[in-house]
Structure formats: C-alpha cells, structure tokens
Amino acid sequence: MAEVAEPRGPLAGLLVADFSRILAGPYATMLLADLGAEVVKVEGPQGDDTRSWQPPVRDGISTYYLGVNRNKRSVALDLKDPDDLAAAQELARRADVLVENFKPGGLVRFGLDYDSVSRSNPRVLYASISGFGSGPGGASLPGYDLIVQAISGLMSLTGPPDGEPYRAGISVFDVMAGLHATIGVLSALHERDATGRGQHVEVNLLSSALSGLVNQSSAYVAGGVVPFRMGNSHPSLFPYEPLPCADGDLIITAGNNNQFRRLVEVLGAPELADDPRFGRNEDRTANRDELRPLLVERLRTRTKMEWFRDIIAAGVPCGPINTVDGGVAFAEEVGLDPVVEVGDGEAAVPSVRNPIRFSRTPAEYRLPPPSLDQHGKEIRRWLTQDPAAAGEEHTA
C-alpha cells in the first residue's frame, strides 16, 4: 500500500489486522500504530459504533472515535459477502498481529478464529479481548465497561461513603484491558523472535479489573477485608485527599513520615509531627478524624494556589482539582507537550500525545483517524497481489 510516511518507530514493519471496535481493542492498536506498526482497521458496512457516539464532535465526527483511531487505515468489509470475507481472511493470513473483540467464538463461522487463522499463518499473534473470558461461564456474557465496573466491585468503592455507588468518569477497564492486550502482544512478539511461532493472547475486562484494583482487591484476597466506599479518602494513608483552603480544595498526599513533617512545617504547625497520635502513617490513618480539622484550620488561612506553591516547594506532593482543560494546560506548563496535530493543513486533527517516550525511535503521528473505508480500494488491491513477489510478506 502507498505510504504517507515511512514508519520509523520500534514496531516499523509490523502488520496489524484490527478487527476490534469501540475502545479496548482500538486503543491497543492505536498504541501499536503510534510505535510504527501498519494497522489496517477492518470495519463492518456501518462502521465502528463509536463513529455515532456523539456529541461531542469535531467537524461532524465523533471525538470518541477520533481519540483512539489515529495512524490507521480503514477498509469496510461485510464478512457475509464472499469476496469481502476472502479479503478479510487474506489480511489475517498476512498479518503479524490480529486483534479482535468479538464475543468468544463469534469469528469461527467466518474462518477468522485463532485455530483457523493460525493454520494458514502459524506466526500470527492473535489477541482476543472479551468481557469475561472464553470459558463456559463467561463467553456468553456481554462485555461492557460499565457492567464490569459494577461486577468487579469498583463502583462499590467509588462515591461518597453515605451515597450511591458511582461509575468512574472514563471506561477505565476498557483502557486497562487495551494496555494489557498491548503488553501481551509485545511479550508474544519477543517470544516469537526466539521460537518463530505465534500464539493466542487472551485478555478480558474482569481480569483486568481485578488486577487493576490492586490494593483493594489484595485487601480481600490476601487479608480477608472487603473494602468499602470512602469518598476521596484513602484506606491506608492520611493525608491523601482533598483538603479545603480559603477558596477551594487542594489535594495533599503526604505518603510517608518525612513528607508529613515537611507539610506541617510549611503549615506552621511542626509540633504535629511529634504528636504521638500522628507521628507514623498508621497513627495518622487511625486518628484521621482528629488530624483533619487541625490541618484544615491552617489551610483555610490562604488560597489553594498559594498553598500549592509553598507545599510543592517543600517537596510534598499536592495539586489543584482541575477540569480536563486545566489538566491539558498544566501538562503544557510543565513541558509535556500533550497535544499533537495529526495530518496536514485543514485536515489535521488535534490528538493526545502517546505517553511513551523513546530516546531514538519516538512515536509518530502519520495518519489522522480514517473515514469509513477511506483506504478500501488500495487495501483490496494490495490483498490481491502476491506478497512474496512484491517483497511485502509482513508489511503493508
């Protein structure tokens, strides 16, 4: 296929057949694409569902879709059509990596399941993302992030202590599953370098959720403690939450005894560090109801940004509670350059920078998110060519 720019990232030369949609799979394949992989996004005739998930929009296009589909080429294939199915199977035969998030078993009838694809392409790394795994108990269950937030226990931990359980503000387990799928693919690539053999990589949202609950799930499996909702408080640390200043809240996280001593020195109450009720973290956590009003009494004497500057200068982590625009602005202030322009001229789409930094092979932003079937003709033409004759066995 014609190149907009020759990929130079660490995954240059890798062909990814992306049969996924919505969030977890597309996020994983976008990360691979940023790092140089050639990603072919296979969509049904109606396109990825997120194309219609709006508002908000940019130039009439869903920003949800734009957020996870840069650096890809789109081909619309109807798997019920014999010619389109043949093209999809040929793409799978040529791919280094195939990513899909159909219901477990949903691609068997199309000959696009792992067993079928690996027979013609034994080197393929086939990544499946599901809601609850491929076992008999979970394969038939629909895998939506919100459902997993509920079932996993996350919602029981989120929200005010005396209020209703809340969902997280993003589809956090879709993102985690996408990251786990990416880790699985890269690990399998390393193993393939040694053995020459592909394998099936499986990720599910519930397992990602229970792993991602970290200290909270460990509290139960290792300690027999069922965690409960604490609002913005932390079960094992204090202070580690928003505290009110003269004009609003400031997040303060004194994660160890030295940080707490520096904090109370800045607040003008150094004696608190020597108070036996507050000297150690476990004491502060146990006596948080006594310590909190003593800290708030001092914090209320100045604005949150005045305290922010002084507390940060003392080496104690803290920060204001921003809206998303403020978060982007703060990243710009500290030199992270969080926004990149993908594409040229009026067609360029602002996008959030890939968070991984490389000293020699940086992430690249070659293609804006494609319109439906934007590259269909060239992809179909390429799939009819002999890859060995064209010298393109593993690259598109």
Indicate if the pLDDT at residue 8 is higher than 90. no
- Asked if 191 and 320 sit in the same domain, the reply is no
- Asked if 305 and 281 sit in the same domain, the reply is yes
pLDDT-based confidence at residue 391 (cuts at 50, 70, 90): low
pLDDT-based confidence at residue 396 (cuts at 50, 70, 90): very low
For the chain, how many structural domains are there in total? 2
CATH of the domain at 103: 3.40.50.10540
Cα–Cα nearest to 122, from 195, 204, 34 = 195
Catalytic sites, residue numbers: 174
Indicate if the pLDDT at residue 23 is higher than 80. yes
- Asked if 177 and 113 sit in the same domain, the reply is yes
222 found inside a domain: no
Distances (CA, A) of 135 to 131, 152, 181, 184: 11, 17, 18, 19
- Asked if 148 and 169 sit in the same domain, the reply is yes
Backbone angles phi, psi at 317, to 5 degrees: -65, 135
> What is the arithmetic mean of pLDDT over 207-227?
97
Q: Which domain holds residue 304?
A: 240-333
pTM of the model: 0.92
DSSP conformation letters of 90-149: HHHHH-SEEEE-SPTTTTGGGT-SHHHHHHH-TT-EEEEEESS-SSTTTTTS---HHHHH
Task: Please give the pLDDT value at position 101.
Answer: 97
Cα–Cα nearest to 311, from 232, 245, 237, 236 = 245
User: How does pLDDT run across 36-69, given as a tens digit for each residue?
Assistant: 999 999 999 999 999 999 999 999 999 999 999 9
Name the residue with tokens 């997993």. Answer: 148
> What is the arithmetic mean of pLDDT over 172-189?
98
2 found inside a domain: no
- Asked if 79 and 150 sit in the same domain, the reply is yes
User: How does pLDDT run across 221-272, given as a tens digit for each residue?
Assistant: 999 999 999 999 999 999 999 999 999 999 999 999 999 999 999 999 999 9
Provide the token pair at 98: 């195939």
DSSP letter at 341 equals E
Task: Estimate the crossing angle of helix 172-195 against helix 205-212, to 10 degrees.
Answer: 100
Burial environment of residue 382 by CB neighbours within 10 A (0 to 12, 13 to 18, 19 or more): buried
315 found inside a domain: yes
Indicate if the pLDDT at residue 35 is higher than 50. yes
- Asked if 208 and 285 sit in the same domain, the reply is no
4 found inside a domain: no
Cα–Cα nearest to 153, from 133, 138, 173, 170 = 173
Task: Estimate the crossing angle of helix 304-313 against helix 257-266, to 10 degrees.
Answer: 130
Q: Are 365 and 351 in contact (CB under 8 A)?
A: yes
Task: Please give the pLDDT value at position 81.
Answer: 97
Helix ranges restricted to H, the chain: 24-34, 63-66, 82-94, 114-120, 145-152, 172-195, 205-212, 214-223, 257-266, 281-286, 288-299, 304-313, 324-333, 376-383, 387-390
Whole-angstrom distance, CA of residue 348 vs CA of residue 369: 10
264 found inside a domain: yes
- Asked if 244 and 312 sit in the same domain, the reply is yes
Task: Please give the pLDDT value at position 4.
Answer: 55
- Asked if 357 and 381 sit in the same domain, the reply is yes
33 found inside a domain: yes
Q: Are 305 and 320 in contact (CB under 8 A)?
A: yes
CATH of the domain at 323: 3.30.1540.10
Peptide bond into 56 cis (omega under 30): yes
Cα–Cα nearest to 34, from 393, 360, 353, 378 = 353
DSSP conformation letters of 48-71: -GGGG--SSEETTEEHHHHTT-TT
> What is the arithmetic mean of pLDDT over 341-357?
94
298 φψ region: left (φ > 0), alpha (ψ -120 to 50), beta (else): alpha
Indicate if the pLDDT at residue 388 is higher than 90. no
Q: Which of 333, 361, 377 is the last residue of a domain?
A: 333
pLDDT-based confidence at residue 276 (cuts at 50, 70, 90): very high
User: How does pLDDT run across 368-385, given as a tens digit for each residue?
Assistant: 999 999 999 999 999 998
52 found inside a domain: yes
- Asked if 157 and 53 sit in the same domain, the reply is yes
Backbone angles phi, psi at 202, to 5 degrees: -120, 135
Q: Which of 333, 365, 382 is the last residue of a domain?
A: 333
User: How does pLDDT run across 149-178, given as a tens digit for each residue?
Assistant: 999 999 999 999 999 999 999 999 999 999
Provide the token pair at 121: 């392409």
Q: What is the amino acid identity at position 386?
A: D
Residue 41: strand, helix, or coil: strand
Q: Which of 333, 350, 367 is the last residue of a domain?
A: 333
pLDDT-based confidence at residue 117 (cuts at 50, 70, 90): very high
- Asked if 261 and 382 sit in the same domain, the reply is no
User: How does pLDDT run across 62-73, given as a tens digit for each residue?
Assistant: 999 999 999 999
Burial 186-215 (b: 16+ CB within 10 A, else e): bebeeebeeeeebbbbbbbbbbbbbebbee
Task: Please give the pLDDT value at position 300.
Answer: 97
pLDDT-based confidence at residue 346 (cuts at 50, 70, 90): confident
User: How does pLDDT run across 121-157, given as a tens digit for each residue?
Assistant: 999 999 999 999 999 999 999 889 999 999 999 999 9
- Asked if 326 and 358 sit in the same domain, the reply is no
- Asked if 322 and 368 sit in the same domain, the reply is no
User: How does pLDDT run across 294-340, given as a tens digit for each residue?
Assistant: 999 999 999 999 999 999 999 999 999 999 999 999 999 999 999 99
Indicate if the pLDDT at residue 395 is higher than 50. no
Task: Please give the pLDDT value at position 7.
Answer: 74
140 found inside a domain: yes
